[in-house]
Amino acid sequence: MRRYLLFFTLCLILFLLPLQVFVIGSSMGIGIQGAVYRYQVTEYGVFFFPITREIVFVLNGTYSPKTALSVVLWGVGTVLLTITTFFSFIHVQDRIVNYYRQIITGLFFSCVIFLCSCVAQYGFFFNGPAGVSYPAGILLIITWSGMGWYFRHTIINFLDSK
């Protein structure tokens, strides 16, 4: 079974792949953001924030309401992506009928929530007073999910073969 390839791909998306690249304000800094981290370089220094620290900033009231909403949406997308990744691992040996459809649906909706987070922070066109966002990784995953949905029978035959 090659279903483990799907699980490892989801782990790469969850832990490594940068989902968005952003420019802070008027070129005050730049950064990348993955599902569970944010790395930014500004004139004040280099910072690495795990998603748990971002949630603490929201709970402490450090962030403005717009940024707090963005972080909460990003956290919800991360939780959904984590659930999808765990689901793919738990059911890797099972023969449930909707396995691939549920994974593709989880990926798609987590990316939609990530895009809503970018819109909440940067505006509808990903450009505003907070800076500019380039959600290239998110759009790549949505495209990959769409191709997975369209070619699901080919993928199922490939991943389920021995």
Q: What is the pTM of this model?
A: 0.87
d(CA 122, CA 133): 7
In this predicted structure, the answer to whether residue 35 has a pLDDT above a threshold of 60 is yes
Residues 66-95 as b/e (b if ≥16 CB within 10 A, e otherwise) read ebbbbbbbbbbbbebbbebbebbbebeeee
Check if the beta carbon of residue 115 is closer than 8 Å to that of residue 135: yes
Q: Can you tell me which residue has the tokens 């709970």?
A: 59
Check if the beta carbon of residue 31 is closer than 8 Å to that of residue 38: yes
Residue range 75-133, pLDDT digits in tens: 999 999 999 888 888 877 776 767 788 888 999 999 999 999 999 999 899 898 888 99
pLDDT band (50, 70, 90) for residue 15: confident
